[in-house]
Homo-oligomer: A and B are copies of this chain.
Amino acid sequence: MTTKGKASPYLRNCWYVAGWAREVQRLHMFRRILLGEPVVLYRKGDGTPVALEDRCMHRHAPLSHGRLQGDNIECAYHGLVFDPDGACIKIPSQDTIPPNACVRSYPVAEKHRWVWIWMGDPAKADESLIPDFHWMDHEGFAWRGETLHVEGNYMLVVENLMDLSHLPSLHLTTLADTAVPENEEFPVTFETKGNDIHINRWVRDVPPPPYFRLLGDFKKGDRVDRWMDSHFTPPSFVRIDIGACPAGSGQLDGDRTGVQTAMNLNAVTPETATSAHYFWAQAQNFSEGDESISEVDFRLVHDAFQEDLSIIRGQQENIDLSPDAPRLNLAADKGGLQATRMVEKLVREEQEAG
């Protein structure tokens, strides 16, 4: 297996989303640049997903131009055949196969509707480290998701998701009222458990905002307890729980069964230094089989994310013009900064270790 000598700007010993489970198919191999590396994705006959370096070690042709032969992939150029472990098992033009004839095979896992890839040391790939996105697998939740292409560094998306103070301004007509206003009684809390960062926003006994009256069961005149909880897992996973329950019944960090919750689920995988694959879904436990509710919930967030993508493209343009221009951090950046520093620390530690 080839391992790059050059220091990567990315955390490598972690799981990233490589694609939707529905995208990775038996017969339709496809190429995707992940962390600046070409990867080809397909499935074995038993359904197991496979991720190989999309570059034949012979003449660097993309294997994705080739053909599947059972579970193996045949390079289009000279017919070299690779098994799903990346080992070259056939060279048509010669009988012996050099021992270093292989492409990198990445550990993969299929969980929560996504195919995950581990681009670091394969010995450290542990499926229990896959971040929790069980809401896409939970019968109590309906969901819909998509892939967006980001014309900006992936951490610009993480910062966006970790600082929801942008909701009232950027998403005035879509998500503004999902934001939980600052209040003295229940200030925003930041808590770090291991590498996870948890930001909790909470408010009691307030009217239900239009978002919940539109999609949930609350009516004008009702009073609710509300929250907006964000969980960050390095390097780029953010789950946001937006919920409400009848006033007085809300339990901070307690049992939320029966409450009305929409989960905004986000996984951002770097493509290059200035672009990213953004996999996200919206799941909610209050649609009760009414697909129009899932659809409207998804569409509201989808529209808001278009606004985010436009801003991020603008940020990246400005960064490209003046890469060293300073930034001024505000109090609301605390979550984004914690996330950024944690990723930087983990990358540093990983590079010093290896």
A contact set with B: CB distance below 8 Å = 2, 4-6, 33, 36-38, 54-55, 57-62, 65, 74-79, 91-94, 98, 100-101, 159, 163, 165-166, 168-170, 182, 307, 310-311, 314-315, 317-319, 321-322, 324-333
Interface centre among A77, A163, A170, A322 (most CB of B within 10 A): A77
User: Oligomeric state, in number of copies?
Assistant: 3
Known contacts A310-B65, A321-B33, A331-B94: A78-B326 contact under CB 8 Å: no
Q: Give 20 CB contacts A-B under 8 Å.
A: A2-B326, A33-B321, A38-B317, A38-B321, A54-B318, A57-B326, A60-B325, A60-B327, A61-B315, A62-B317, A62-B318, A65-B310, A65-B311, A76-B170, A77-B170, A78-B170, A78-B332, A93-B165, A93-B182, A94-B330
Considering the chains assembled together, what is the distance between the CA atoms of A79 and B98 in angstroms?
61
With known contacts A170-B76, A311-B76, A322-B37, A58–B93 Cβ distance under 8 A: no
- Cross-chain contact B60 with A318 (CB below 8 angstroms): yes
Cα A307 to Cα B168 with chains together (Å) = 50
Q: Contact partner of A318 among B55, B307, B314, B319, CB < 8 A?
A: B55
Bound Cα distance A38, B159 (Å): 22
B332 and A169 contacting across the interface, CB-CB below 8 Å: no
Given A57-B326, A60-B325, residue A169 in contact with residue B331 (CB < 8 A)? no
Instruction: Known contacts A163-B78, A315-B59; decide if A169 and B92 are in contact (CB<8 Å).
Output: yes
In the complex the two chains form, is B2's CB within 8 Å of A77's CB?
no
> Which residues does chain B contribute within 8 Å of A76, judged by CB atoms?
169-170, 307, 311
A319 vs B61: C-alpha distance when bound (angstroms): 9
Selected from B74, B92, B165, B310, the residue in CB contact (under 8 A) with A78 is: B165
Other-chain residue from B61, B182, B317, B326 in contact with A311 (beta carbon distance below 8 A): B61
Beyond A60-B327, A61-B318: 7 further Cβ-contacts under 8 Å? A2-B325, A60-B318, A75-B169, A77-B311, A78-B165, A79-B169, A98-B330
Given contacts A74-B169, A169-B77, A318-B60, contact A93 B325 (CB under 8 A): no
Interface pair B61/A327, CB less than 8 Å apart: no
A330 adjacent to B2 (CB under 8 Å): no
Whether B59 contacts A94 by the Cβ 8 Å rule is no
Kindly identify which residue among B59, B319, B324, B328 contacts A58, using a CB–CB cutoff of 8 Å: B328
Q: Which residues of B contact A319 (CB under 8 A)?
A: 60
Inter-chain CA distance A101–B333, complex, in Å, is 14
Would you call B4 and A322 a contact (CB within 8 A)? yes
User: Residues of B contacting A330 with CB < 8 Å?
Assistant: 58, 78, 91, 93-94, 98
A59, A311, A317, A319 — most chain B CB neighbours (10 Å) = A59
With both chains docked as a complex, state the minimum distance between the C-beta of A276 and any C-beta of chain B, in angstroms. Answer: 16
Q: Which residues in B have their C-beta under 8 angstroms from that of A101?
A: 328
Cα distance A101–B332 in the bound complex, in angstroms:
14
Residues of B near A332 (CB, < 8 A) are 78, 93-94
Question: When chains A and B are docked, how far (Å) is the Cα of A167 from the Cα of B25?
Answer: 28
B92 adjacent to A61 (CB under 8 Å): no
